[in-house]
Amino acid sequence: MPLFTIDQTKCKRDGICVAECPSQIIVQKDKKSFPELMAGGDEYCINCGHCVAVCPHGAFILNSMPPAACEPLDQNLLPDAPSLKHLLQARRSIRTYQKKTVSRKIISELIEAAHYAPTASNKQQVHWIVFQDPDEVQRLAAMVIDFMKQTLSLAVDEAAADRYRRIIRVWDSGVDRIMRGAPHLVVAHSPSDTSFPEADCAHALAYLELYAFARGLGTCWAGYFTAASNAHGPLIHTLGLPAGHRCYGAVMLGYPRYKYKRIPAREEAKLHFR
């Protein structure tokens, strides 16, 4: 089966698909010819669907992704730049959560949104585990504390050791600074041999955090958990990732207890134009 076909009744031979293909495997001999696949081009297609999505005439039929399989882009649903900028600035890391849990339906919606984050070479190799049970999330936090206790003597510097000691001390007094009492934990993992697994997972988690905020939810990176997740035997066992996968990030998730009223000031961007 060919990689793609061109509906010649619709194609206007405008060359847009040729210009937009990231792998440059679509060729057009001249302005009168229809686009064709470069010899041996199949091998280089990353199945990103840009050819289908960009064609204004619906003439490009990628066999794995015909135009009918691609949702139309609705300009009216796009936020304007000030709204989006405000959302980006207004999202906060949330560290106090309501007891209420988030439904599986809403969590699936978050993952669906995160799933549209870019991935290197469109590999789409971000996998997810969602811990739904708040007690299980607390057990994970306890494992991170065990890890901190075991590695305290190996802490790289005194500041790090001091931070660990404080976290352990407050944990022993009933305060959770690992999961912040969040009811859920969303873990992103990838095969470690993809090109950019850290970046893929971080992008996906950032999308998830922003969409969660727009949906009235709160998130916070679980950095201590992430650091322990590939190093502490009991956590590795509990996560049970497929062979060759590593955890590259995780966020706490729940309904925030408080609403923020202001956007905290940030340092000026460290920017140099050249």
Ligand X SMILES: Cc1cc2nc3c(=O)[nH]c(=O)nc-3n(C[C@H](O)[C@H](O)[C@H](O)COP(=O)(O)O)c2cc1C
Report if residue 22 touches ligand X, rule: CB under 6 A.
no
- Compute the distance between CA of residue 50 and CA of residue 21 in angstroms, rounded to an integer: 7
Query: Given phi > 0 = left and psi -120 to 50 = alpha, else beta, which region is 158?
Result: alpha
- Residue identified by tokens 């790289």 is 156
Shortest-Cβ-distance residue relative to ligand X? 223
Report if residue 93 touches ligand X, rule: CB under 6 A.
yes
- Residue identified by tokens 């280089």 is 44
Identified binder of ligand X from the candidate list 2, 79, 216, 223, rule CB under 6 A = 223
Query: Which of the stretches 92-100, 121-129, 142-150, 231-239 binds ligand X when contact is defined by CB under 6 A?
Result: 92-100
The footprint of ligand X on this chain (CB under 6 A) covers a number of residues equal to 8
Query: Which of the stretches 30-38, 54-62, 89-97, 113-121 binds ligand X when contact is defined by CB under 6 A?
Result: 89-97
Query: Which of the stretches 14-22, 69-77, 90-98, 136-144 binds ligand X when contact is defined by CB under 6 A?
Result: 90-98
* Residue 255 Cβ vs ligand X, minimum distance, rounded to whole Å: 16
Query: Which of the stretches 103-111, 126-134, 159-167, 222-230 binds ligand X when contact is defined by CB under 6 A?
Result: 222-230
Report if residue 255 touches ligand X, rule: CB under 6 A.
no
For ligand X, the closer of residues 119 and 219 by Cβ is 219
* Residue 15 Cβ vs ligand X, minimum distance, rounded to whole Å: 42
Report if residue 115 touches ligand X, rule: CB under 6 A.
no
Report if residue 222 touches ligand X, rule: CB under 6 A.
yes
Report if residue 224 touches ligand X, rule: CB under 6 A.
yes
Report if residue 95 touches ligand X, rule: CB under 6 A.
yes
For ligand X, the closer of residues 10 and 92 by Cβ is 92
Which residues make up the interface to ligand X (CB under 6 A)? Answer: 92-93, 95, 220-224
